[in-house]
Structure formats: structure tokens, C-alpha cells
Amino acid sequence: MSKAIRAWCLAGILMLVPVLQAAPPAPAGGTRGEVVLLDIKGGIGPATRDFIVHGLERARDNNARAVVLRIDTPGGLDAATRDINRAILASEVPVIAWVAPEGARAASAGTYILYACHLAAMAPATSLGAATPVSMGGPAPGPMPGGEREPGKPGPPQDGKGTPAKPEAPADPMSRKVVNDAVGYLRSLAELRGRNTAFAEAAVRDAATLTASQAAAQGVIEFVAADLPTLLREADGRRVRLAHREVVLATAGQPVRMLEPDWRARLLAVITEPTVAYLLLLVGLYGLVFEGYSPGAVLPGVVGAICLLLALYAFQVLPVNYAGIGLISLGVVLIAVEFVMPSFGALGIGGVVALVVGTLIMFDTDVPGFGVPGRLVAGIGAASAVAFMGMIWLAARARRRPVVTGVEELVGHTAVATRDFHGRGQVRIRGEEWQAVSDVPVRRGEPVRVLALDGLVLRVAPSGAAGDAR
């Protein structure tokens, strides 16, 4: 029987060989010659970087005619932005930046990505610019991001086209270094793509912004397109230079396939959200603390360990201040120790302060979308303070209540003498025999009241109430 089965399997494989040889190779998802659409929404971070880099790789593998980056972002992290731009500059598929839909913006990091793309377009009622780098751990040098200035400070002089004529230079040496580096980077992208270098510098030094029509008039973008079909028609026939060759775009009327983030990108987007990463850290720390309080419970320890590892992974790709993480950990430990050894305020107050301060300084950047909301910080601090105050109230109440467990609870109860004694003898209480000491003679069977406990010896005295014996 086994030989017959092997013979049938071999025959089936031999029959499939001609079919497999005749079948055309299947594309790695999608149709050849299509246009791939990738969305950049919200803050640009590690999840956005992975999504765009992998999307460009899939477009290359599918021999796509072009990739359209539909941008609507307030900005993002410098490291993630530069990784995206490196992938665009090395792409073997033309990349078209499109700020859309109407009302969208390509602020800060979005401007850098737009300048890096082979073609740039915007929908009506959109804007770009405000590319001033946000300083780590403090406000942006000079003008505020987004083109807004500090109250009471006038903007720089404007020329006829709305571009600042004399950029303001930040006074702080470190700020100048950061700004000059960003200016050089954005100017190099502008020169590579043949776009307006003056606005590139003004966008960094003075957070200058442009509307879609202004950007087209000043040579920052190639054209304005209200919808995707218009974008593809306007891009059709334009010559762009890739890393090693020049190509002429043929995009008009081509099918468009929108790539959605896979499960990995979605998971990374969730856990690298600063608020989620912060809550994962708290859940992880408290879970391990609860497991320490009740060994063998298993669930708190497992959940805590998983959440803590996820939080640590998120922190290694986010701009965090590890002093803040240390303060948060110290705060949780101090609050936990307060529950074990009530200090009536010292440990608990210190823990709440460390928790709040650590949360405030944990994320070492002012980039929009990459911080913990103030309401969450206030809520966590208030909840910790309420739990701490409730613990103090319970501890104070417990001190006023009589002891109801342990050997100390025997004080005040009645025992029965098991023999006559004067000085040291034995008594029975709650079915147990104890060594006892009495300053007056005690007869066998006489009830005595426990006055105190000296180690394992009861100090007793005749009670005169035999009915109280236990």
C-alpha cells in the first residue's frame, strides 16, 4: 500500500511540472504598471518610517510606475524623517509628493519629505513650511513652529512674494548649530530637485509657510492638483532623475492601488504612541509590584513583564529622557513601599512627586504629537495622590482599632489556670497551654485575665469571673 501511495504522489508531481512551467510568474501583490498610493497622516515617527520604506520596496518589486505620497502631517521626528528621505533618494521608482486632501498641510518634517521627492504637488487650500527644528527639551529656537510667533514680537520684513527678506538668527550657539544644519539639509534637497532654495532657508530660519498657489508660483512645487486623476495627468510626461537614471513618467490613466499598513506597522504605530508607551510602562511596573506582593498570582507578573518589554521597545525608538523613566520607576517603587511600610507621608509624597516630574520630562522633544497630554499627567498624579491618601487613612484607622489577630490579641482575654501556682505557672486559653506569671496566688481552675504579653509568657491576675474562661 505504501508503494502505491508513493507512486501516485510521484505521478501527481510529474503532472504538475508542465503546468507550473507554463504558468506566468505571479507578481508580488498588485498589477505591473500601477501607481502605488501611500498615506502619511499625523506625526511622523518610527511606524511611518517603516510603512513608507516597506511601501517603496513593494512598489519596486511590483515594477510600479510611480509612488504617490499623500501628505497631511504637522511634523515629526528628525531621525524618522531622514530615514524616509534616504529611502526616497535611493528609490528606483519615481516618488510624487502630494499635499492633500484640501485643508491638509506638510508642516515641519512634511516639508523635508516634499523637497526630497522627485515631483511635488499640492491640492488647493493646503500649506507647507514651518520647518524650524524643534529643540530637544525646550522651545524651538527663534520663531515658534508653524509660522506663529511669540506674542508681542513682530515678524521679519517681507518681500513682495511673502518670503522673509532678512531671516532672524537664533542667539544661542546650540540653536544656531541645529538651525544651520537643517538649513543645509533642506537647501541640498532643493538644489537636487531644482526647487526654490530661498524658501527652503526661510522655512527653517523663520518658520515661513506658503499656500498651494504661492508654492507653485515660487517654484517650490511643480503644480497644483485638486484630485488624484488630475495629479496623474499633470505628472504624465515629466522627466525625473532617479538615483542612477532618468525616466519619463507615464501615469495618466494608470490604475492606482492604495497600500494599507500591515499588522506590524499598525502595532508599531500603537505602541510607539507616547501616551500608550507611558501607560504600558506604568502597567508593567505596577504589575511586577503586585506580583511581588502576592507571589504565585502569575497574571500580574505575566502582564507586567509583557507591558514592560513593549514599553522598553517603544522607548528605544522614541526620543526619551531616561532620567524621566528612572524617576517614574522610582515613584512607583516609593508608592509601593509606602503600602508595605507606612511612613505617614514621606515615601508616598516623594513617590507622587517623582512620578509627575518623571512624566513631564520623559519625552525629550516638543515635536507635535510626541508628548504625554497634560490632562493624563494630572490624572495619573491625582489618582496616585488619592490612592496614597487613602492608604494613609487606612493605616491611621488601623492603629486606632484593637488588635484582632496574632498573639497580641490575647491581651484582655480570660484564661484558666491548669494548676496552683504563685509566680510562674501554666494557663489554658483557646485550647492552648501557655506559660504564665502572676504576682498573687492562683488556684487550679481559677479564671485569670491576661494583662500583658512578655515574649511567650503571659502576665495574668485573678479575674473573679469564672464564666469568662475560654
Q: Are residues 119 and 249 in the same domain?
A: yes
What DSSP string runs through 307-346?
Answer: HHHHHHHHHTTS-B-HHHHHHHHHHHHHHHHHHHS--TTH
Q: For position 10, what pLDDT does the model report? A: 43
pLDDT tens, 303-360?
888 988 888 888 877 777 888 888 888 888 887 777 667 666 677 778 788 888 887 8
Q: For position 418, what pLDDT does the model report? A: 87
Q: For position 365, what pLDDT does the model report? A: 57
Under the banding of pLDDT at 50, 70 and 90, the label for residue 388 is low
**Nearest residue to 387 (alpha-carbon basis) of 336, 438, 442:** 336
Domain boundary among 264, 285, 310: 264
Q: Are residues 116 and 255 in the same domain?
A: yes
Under the banding of pLDDT at 50, 70 and 90, the label for residue 281 is confident
Question: How is residue 69 annotated by DSSP?
Answer: E
Look-up: residue for cell 544656531?
176
Helix-helix angle 299-315:274-293, to 10 degrees:
150
Q: Is the model more confident about 362 or about 114?
A: 114
Provide the residue range defining the domain that includes 420: 407-468
Q: Quote the number of domains for the chain.
A: 3
Q: Are residues 222 and 288 in the same domain?
A: no
- Residue 11, domain member (yes or no): no
pLDDT tens, 39-71?
999 888 888 998 999 999 999 999 999 999 999
Which grid coordinates are listed for 390?
487613602
Type of residue at 208 = A
Question: How is residue 164 annotated by DSSP?
Answer: B
Distance of CA 403 to the CA centre of its chain: 47
Average confidence score pLDDT of the chain: 77
pLDDT tens, 363-372?
755 555 566 7
Under the banding of pLDDT at 50, 70 and 90, the label for residue 152 is very low
Q: Taking the model in full, what pTM does it have?
A: 0.63
Q: For position 465, what pLDDT does the model report? A: 43
C-alpha to C-alpha distance for 229 and 147, rounded to whole angstroms = 32
- Residue 116, domain member (yes or no): yes
Q: Which of 22-26, 85-89, 378-382, 421-425 has the lowest mean pLDDT?
A: 22-26
Q: Are residues 39 and 142 in the same domain?
A: yes
250 Cβ neighbours under 8 A, 6+ residues apart:
65, 236, 237
36 Cβ neighbours under 8 A, 6+ residues apart:
30, 55, 58, 59, 62, 64, 66, 67, 68, 93, 256, 257, 258, 259
Residue 265: other Cβ atoms inside 10 A: 19
Q: For position 394, what pLDDT does the model report? A: 64
Look-up: residue for cell 534637497?
189
C-alpha to C-alpha distance for 153 and 162, rounded to whole angstroms = 18
Q: Are residues 395 and 449 in the same domain?
A: no
**Nearest residue to 367 (alpha-carbon basis) of 103, 39, 79:** 79
Q: Are residues 119 and 245 in the same domain?
A: yes
Beta strand 35-41 with 66-72 is parallel
Q: Are residues 81 and 42 in the same domain?
A: yes
Q: Is 242 helix (H, G, I), strand (E, B) or coil?
A: coil
